[in-house]
Amino acid sequence: MANPTAAILVIGDEILSGRTRDTNMYHLAQELTKAGIDLAEARMVGDDTAMIQDAVRALAQGYDHVFTSGGIGPTHDDITADAIAAAFGVGIDVREDARDLLKAHYEATGFDLNPARLRMARIPEGAELIENPVSAAPGFSIRNVHVLAGVPAIFEAMVASVLPRLTGGTPLLSQNLRVQRGEGDIAGMLADIARDFEDLSIGCYPYQQDGAYCSNVVVRGADGARLQAAIARLGRELGL
User: Among the residues of 5-125, which ranges form H helices?
Assistant: 13-16, 24-35, 49-62, 80-87, 96-109, 115-118
Q: Which of 128, 165, 167, 203 binds its own copies (CB under 8 A)?
A: 203
89 versus 188: smaller Cβ distance to its own copies: 188
Residue 180: how many CB atoms within 10 A of its CB? 13
* CA dihedral over 75, 135, 94, 47, signed as positive or negative: positive
Which of 182, 224, 227, 225 shows the shortest CA–CA distance to 201?
Answer: 227
Q: Which of 14, 131, 156, 223 binds its own copies (CB under 8 A)?
A: 14
Q: Which of 61, 89, 91, 115 binds its own copies (CB under 8 A)?
A: 115
**214 is a contact residue toward its own copies (CB under 8 A):** no
**17 is a contact residue toward its own copies (CB under 8 A):** yes
**How long is the chain?**
240
Distance CA 211, CA 69 (A): 40
Q: How far is the CB of 120 from its own copies (least distance, A)?
A: 8
Which of 161, 106, 110 shows the shortest CA–CA distance to 133?
Answer: 161
Residue 198: how many CB atoms within 10 A of its CB? 8
**202 is a contact residue toward its own copies (CB under 8 A):** yes
Coil, helix or strand at residue 47: coil
**223 is a contact residue toward its own copies (CB under 8 A):** no
| Options 83-91, 155-163, 181-189, 230-238: segment touching its own copies (CB under 8 A) | 181-189
Q: How far is the CB of 213 from its own copies (least distance, A)?
A: 8
**170 is a contact residue toward its own copies (CB under 8 A):** no
Which of 13, 41, 49 shows the shortest CA–CA distance to 25?
Answer: 41
Q: Which of 184, 224, 237, 240 binds its own copies (CB under 8 A)?
A: 184
Distance CA 169, CA 179 (A): 31
Which x/- pattern over 46-85 shows residues binding its own copies (rule: CB under 8 A)?
A: xx---x---------------------xxxxx--------
49 versus 90: smaller Cβ distance to its own copies: 49
Applying CB under 8 A, the residues found at the interface with its own copies are 10, 12-22, 25-33, 38-47, 51, 73-77, 111-112, 114-117, 119, 151, 172, 174, 182-185, 187-188, 190-191, 194, 201-206, 218, 220
